[in-house]
Amino acid sequence: MAVHPTVIPGLLIVDLPVHRDNRGWFKENWQRAKMTALGLPDFGPVQQNISFNGDVGTTRGIHAEPWDKFVSVATGRIFGAWVDLREGPAFGSSVTLEMGPDQAVFVPRGVGNAYQTLEHDTAYAYLVNAHWRPDAEYQFVNLADETVAIEWPIALESAELSDKDRAHPRLASVRPVSAARPVVIGGNGQLGRALRRLIPDATFLTRAELDVSDASALESLDLSGCSAIINAAAYTNVDGAETTAGRATAWQVNATAVGALAGLAARLGVPFVTVSSDYVFDGTVESHAEDEAYSPLGVYGQSKAAGELAARAAPRHYIVRTSWVVGDGPNFVRTMASLAAKGVDPQVICDQQGRLTFADDLARGILHLLSSEAPSGVYNLSSSGPVMSWFDVARAVFELTGHDPERVVATTAEAYASGRGAVTTAPRPRHSAFDLGRLEATGFVPRDTVVALREYLAG
């Protein structure tokens, strides 16, 4: 068994060993473990179709469908032709191959597929990774297109074609199939906005468009044709999660919805990314590794830990664990800068340690994991550099904005909580810093905390 690339990106020719004896022959037409080890995508087929053709010269295509296909011959022989109808520099390029039972072809979404039978009673089989549906959008190109110039063994004038196939447009009139793009859930949060700047052509679903706390909305969600699902939605009201209403919402958004999205990614055969938190730990360890046992102190952390477990339902998953996020929107750094400008001298907690995570770095790190096809699993992602307390961060903000850092007054987490009176205060980890070695081993090194903070305030 062997897999060969072609001039069409993603179109792969597979050599299949055929074992013959006096009874006939046997072959492994689809063998997931062997084929993926050789470089074939683990595309997750869900439907198999067989097209039987009685006569020589039966010709079908050229059809580009919104799913991947794995085509092969059960009996007989064909002349196969494939044309790239996807947007990009390979648009219009073609590959042809005469094939029998000893070969197969993996056809990625958006590549037009056609064949002509060379023997009587030819059976053409194909696996697809999405169920056929009547509203699916196809693209077509004429079998006789002069630009593609496929040299059919049997002249099309003598071949058996459908009227539809004869009437398909020439290549010049074909609208290229748009590239599969990521879908970002929670497209208007700090991470969502950072991702918009990096991948503006992606699909972004805001809370108004998809409320992940609505189970029925998740059940009816159709993301067919996407290249990845990035879950940037979260319930982040740590104190609110300790209330009766907040507890239910935190679990629905941070755990149940994550499981639903991971299941959808699994069915679509695309990577799934979800963002988790340092709150899955109790903070007794000074630097958290990815394989540390869960030990959440409160409801928020419990719901995020459950979400991490639920995310594993997607075969290719990235659980990106982060802390102290700073981006485009309300956050601690903006609050401190505003208080400094207003002449307010804040009391800030000095006994909780960690690192800031800038949303731009978080977005870049997520896209790096996807583009580099890093191994599935959990990755810690925060800024690098020194571990700081909230008090240290506040002093740095005052200093970098031209104010006296001595105006920031240190307080403890216990004193801060007692000063809030009747307001519910959730327990928080004392230590939130991450070991970043696993992420850095993939080739991504986050910016230093102080450097990133200076750039953020200057912007």
Structural domain ending residue among the three candidates 154, 173, 192: 173
In DSSP notation, 15-82 reads E--EEEETTEEEE-S--HHHHHHTT-------EEEEEEE-STTBEEEEEE-SS-EEEEEEES-EEEEE
The whole-angstrom separation of Cα 451 and Cα 287 is 21
Q: Which of 156, 173, 190 is the last residue of a domain?
A: 173
Give residue 90's pLDDT band: very low, low, confident or very high (50, 70, 90). Answer: very high
The answer on pLDDT for 421 being more than 80 is no
- The per-residue pLDDT for 76 is 97
The pLDDT of residue 422 is 52
What's residue 459's pLDDT?
82
User: What pLDDT does residue 179 have?
Assistant: 82
Please check whether residues 145 and 18 belong to one and the same domain: yes
Whole-angstrom Cα distance, residue 429 to residue 317? 26
Given a cut of 90, whether residue 417 has pLDDT beyond it is no
Averaged over 141-161, what is the pLDDT? 96
Q: Tens digits of per-residue pLDDT, 325-343?
A: 999 989 999 999 999 999 9
Mean pLDDT over 436-453 rounds to: 96
- Residue 366 lies in domain: 182-458
Residue tagged active-site, from 63, 288, 403, 431: 63
Same-domain pairing of 101 and 221: no
- What is the number of domains present in the chain? 2
Q: In the beta sheet, which residues pair with residue 18?
A: 27
Using DSSP, state whether 333 is helix, strand or coil.
Answer: helix
- Residue ranges of alpha helices (H) inside 293-448 are 299-311, 332-342, 359-371, 390-400, 413-418, 437-441
- 162-180 per-position pLDDT tens digit: 999 999 999 999 999 988 8
| Burial 86-110, CB ≥16 within 10 A → b, else e | beeebebbbbbeebbbebbbbbbbb
d(CA 199, CA 364): 10
pLDDT at residue 447 greater than cutoff 60: yes
The strand pair at 357-358 and 325-326 is best described as: parallel
Judge whether 4 counts as a catalytic residue. Answer: no
Our measurement of the distance from residue 365's CA atom to the centroid of its chain's CA atoms, rounded to an integer in Å, reads: 13
Q: What is the pLDDT of residues 376-387, one digit of tens each?
A: 999 999 999 999
Indicate whether 400 pLDDT > 70: yes
> Looking at the structure, do residues 165 and 187 belong to the same domain, yes or no?
no
Question: How confident is residue 371, by pLDDT bands cut at 50, 70 and 90?
Answer: very high
Task: Please give the mean pLDDT across all residues of the chain.
Answer: 94
Both 142 and 217 in a single domain?
no
- Give the whole-angstrom CA distance, residue 449 versus residue 393: 10
CATH number, domain containing residue 158: 2.60.120.10
Q: Are residues 200 and 166 in the same domain?
A: no
What is the phi-psi region of residue 45: left when phi exceeds 0, alpha when psi lies from -120 to 50, beta otherwise?
beta
* pLDDT (0 to 100) of residue 435: 97
356 compared with 425, residue with greater pLDDT:
356
Residues 169 and 306 in one domain: no
Pairwise CA distance, residues 269 & 149, whole Å: 34
pLDDT tens, position by position, 188-241: 999 999 999 999 999 999 999 999 999 899 988 888 878 999 999 999 999 999
Query: In this structure, are 223 and 206 located in the same domain?
Result: yes
CA R_g for the chain: 28
Please say whether the beta carbons of 316 and 370 come within 8 A. no
- Is residue 63 part of the annotated active site? The answer reads yes
Q: Is the pLDDT of residue 42 over 90?
A: no
Q: Are strands 78-84 and 203-205 parallel, antiparallel or unpaired?
A: unpaired
- Burial group, residue 172, by CB count within 10 angstroms (0-12, 13-18, 19+): exposed
Q: What is the mean pLDDT of the segment spanning 66-76?
A: 95
**Quick one: average pLDDT of 392-408?**
97
Collapsing DSSP to helix, strand or coil, 428 comes out as coil
Q: Are 244 and 315 contained in the same domain?
A: yes
- For the stretch 245-297, pLDDT in tens is 999 999 999 999 999 999 999 988 899 999 999 999 999 999 999 999 999 99
Same domain for 78 and 186: no
Statement: residue 423 has pLDDT above 70:
no
Among residues 173, 190, 224, the one where a domain terminates is 173
pLDDT at position 420 over 90? no
Percentage of the chain lying above the pLDDT 90 cut:
88
**Residue 91 shares a structural domain with residue 227:** no
252 and 384 share one domain: yes
In the chain, what is the straight-line distance between the N-terminal and C-terminal CA atoms, in Å? 55
Q: Are residues 108 and 67 in the same domain?
A: yes
The active-site residue, picked from 124, 126, 300, 379, is: 126
